[in-house]
């Protein structure tokens, strides 16, 4: 059906060009607002009526006759109906809709994929500080970032996954001090332990684990570092290095369990040691975009739409937190990534304007909207009808590992992607382990497994189905399923453009529902061989699209459940 649409679109373009030179480039089809009105719609007659000095309906009649006279419309279109002031509602022949089955089975895992564009895209996500386990917010970010990478790759982009972490801040010293206290035998609640809401200490049990392994002089290895503890509890530098390496390993294990990988880990500390922070500040000063006031260095960020100018360098000589961000993004630009997407929590909203202002002011030719941001809200967790807020492992929040252990990686990924990133989300642990149609990931996976069971019951060679006669696929349920299959590529393109993996979850749930309805309406393994093979081809194509869509989300497509 995709090839059918391309042929029809080419015929429409040629016809419009013959009526009005230049109009062919604007040829397009829309989806009718009401499915019963047809399969495609065109507003070309209304758009051309004024320049051609004709009434829209009169032009629509002329355009309809001309289109039906073309070979493509003659082969694939059953009727063109004129509605309202001049809409063309195009109704396809059943044979046109059936072509999508062959296209899906021929393309297989590549169905919906677009050719390489040559564009390099860097997606930065998770970027958790190495001071504790990953929490459920990091999990939402990991699911979002990975799915967005998969979406962009499906559209032909060359995608680079990057994890940036702050290994140079005050919190790293707090981590070292907390670990040292634990190594000396102190624990939260002791007189020697920092107390109070803003006390500089981490209270989770994981700190005790780090301290014990440090004293045992263990070696830890993560994706980006390896370190052996000195075992000397007075050696705060060794404690710091070991604790960071330990937690980086723990985060790596969580991400591996979540089936997320990264191409690069970028350290905040490297921005200082490499001189990138100083160089970025120098660019802004040289460009005349800074000024000194009250002993501080300020960025004229209001020149770029910010609500007020921002301090870059404080009186004590230290930089504010957005300055290394500017240096980091200049580095991204210089590495050739002119399309960058940052997945961050909504608490980062205030930094967007000042980072973009710094980048534009740096004189590197960086455009106004660079980088793109996808901001997500935090996640509430419900279990047993009550909200869960505390994990013993972390001390003050539910970890990603908790969620995976309570449910499954598939459930966590699908659930965390099932809403727009900026909407509040409540993760229902009890629902996630339920094996019924109320559980959306189970509902979609069961549709795929159900088809695999049908194909296994048939026992034939699935590869031969792409060549079978599809003419028996004429029922309303079969046509509805085929039309939905045909929407998959356009849905992927739109979801990639809008950074909207939740659109994939919506589509998969709709496709699963359409399949379940079809399964209930028509028996597949019938005695009539021609009918049986056609129906098997349709459900095999449906399984393929379910598999492809779940892969975009990083969710498995089981053959048995």
Going along the chain from its start, the domains and CATH numbers come out as: 2-92 (3.30.1360.70), 437-553 (1.10.730.10)
State the 10-residue block means of pLDDT for the chain, 561 residues long.
89 94 91 84 93 92 95 95 92 94 97 96 94 92 98 98 88 94 95 83 92 97 90 96 94 94 93 96 96 96 93 93 95 97 93 95 94 95 90 74 96 98 95 96 98 96 95 95 95 98 98 97 96 98 98 97 90
Predicted confidence at residue 393, as pLDDT, reads 61
377: left (phi over 0), alpha (psi -120 to 50) or beta: beta
State pTM to two decimals. 0.91
Alpha helix positions (H), 191-235: 205-215
Cα-Cα-Cα-Cα dihedral sign, residues 341, 343, 346, 351: negative
pLDDT tens digit string along 335-345? Answer: 999 999 999 99
pLDDT tens digit string along 182-207? Answer: 999 999 999 999 987 777 889 888 99
Q: Which two tokens stand for residue 101?
A: 């089955």
Q: Are 91 and 79 in contact (CB under 8 A)?
A: yes
Predicted confidence at residue 321, as pLDDT, reads 87
Helices and strands of the chain, counted as H and E runs: 21, 16
Predicted confidence at residue 433, as pLDDT, reads 97
Distance between CA atoms of residues 57 and 59, nearest Å: 5
Q: Are 299 and 323 in contact (CB under 8 A)?
A: no
Q: Are 223 and 265 in contact (CB under 8 A)?
A: yes
């Amino acid at each position: 059906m995709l090839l059918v649409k391309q042929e029809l679109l080419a015929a429409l373009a040629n016809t419009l060009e013959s009526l009005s030179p230049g109009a062919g480039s604007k040829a397009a089809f829309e989806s009718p607002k009401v499915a019963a009105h047809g399969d495609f719609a065109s507003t070309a007659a209304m758009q051309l009526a004024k320049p051609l000095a004709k009434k829209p309906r009169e032009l629509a009649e002329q355009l309809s006759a001309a289109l039906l006279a073309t070979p493509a419309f003659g082969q694939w279109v059953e009727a063109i109906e004129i509605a309202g002031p001049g809409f063309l509602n195009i109704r396809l022949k059943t044979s046109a809709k059936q072509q999508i089955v062959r296209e899906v089975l021929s393309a297989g895992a590549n169905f919906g994929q677009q050719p390489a564009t040559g564009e390099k895209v860097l997606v930065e996500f998770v970027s958790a500080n190495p001071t504790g386990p990953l929490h459920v917010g990091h999990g939402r970010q990991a699911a979002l970032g990975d799915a967005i990478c998969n979406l962009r790759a499906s559209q032909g982009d060359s995608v680079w996954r990057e994890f940036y972490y702050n290994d140079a801040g005050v919190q790293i010293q707090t981590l070292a001090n907390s670990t040292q206290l634990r190594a000396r035998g102190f624990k939260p609640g002791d007189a020697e332990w920092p107390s109070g809401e803003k006390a500089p200490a981490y209270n989770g049990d994981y700190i005790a684990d780090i301290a014990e392994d440090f004293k045992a002089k263990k070696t830890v290895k993560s994706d980006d570092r390896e370190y052996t503890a000195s075992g000397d509890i007075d050696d705060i530098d060794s404690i710091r290095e070991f604790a960071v390496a330990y937690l980086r390993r723990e985060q790596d294990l969580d991400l591996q369990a979540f089936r997320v990988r990264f191409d690069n880990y970028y350290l905040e500390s490297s921005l200082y040691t490499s001189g990138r922070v100083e160089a970025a500040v120098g660019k802004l000063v040289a460009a005349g975009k800074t000024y000194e006031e009250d002993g501080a260095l300020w960025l004229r960020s209001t020149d770029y739409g910010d609500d007020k100018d921002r301090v870059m360098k404080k009186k004590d000589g230290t930089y504010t937190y957005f300055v290394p961000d500017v240096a980091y993004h200049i580095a991204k630009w210089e590495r050739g990534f002119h399309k960058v997407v940052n997945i961050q929590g909504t608490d980062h909203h205030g930094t967007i304007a000042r980072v973009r202002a710094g980048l534009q002011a740096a004189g590197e030719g960086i455009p106004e909207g660079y980088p793109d941001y996808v901001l997500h809200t935090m996640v509430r967790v419900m279990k047993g009808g009550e909200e869960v807020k505390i994990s013993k492992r972390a001390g003050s929040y539910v970890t990603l590992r908790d969620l995976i252990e309570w449910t499954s990686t598939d459930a966590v990924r699908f659930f965390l992607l099932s809403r727009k990133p900026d909407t509040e989300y409540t993760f229902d642990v009890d629902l996630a382990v339920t094996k019924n149609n109320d559980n959306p990931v189970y509902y979609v996976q069961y549709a795929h497994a159900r088809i695999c069971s049908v194909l296994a019951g048939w026992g034939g060679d699935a590869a031969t189905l792409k060549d079978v006669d599809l003419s028996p696929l004429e029922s309303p349920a079969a046509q509805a399923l085929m039309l939905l299959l045909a929407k998959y590529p356009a849905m992927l393109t739109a979801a990639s453009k809008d950074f909207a993996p939740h659109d994939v979850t919506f589509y998969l749930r709709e496709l699963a529902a359409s399949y379940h309805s079809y399964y209930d309406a028509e028996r597949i393994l019938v005695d009539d061989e021609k009918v049986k093979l056609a129906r098997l081809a349709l459900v095999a194509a449906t399984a393929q699209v379910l598999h492809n869509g779940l892969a975009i989300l990083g969710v498995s497509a089981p053959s048995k459940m």
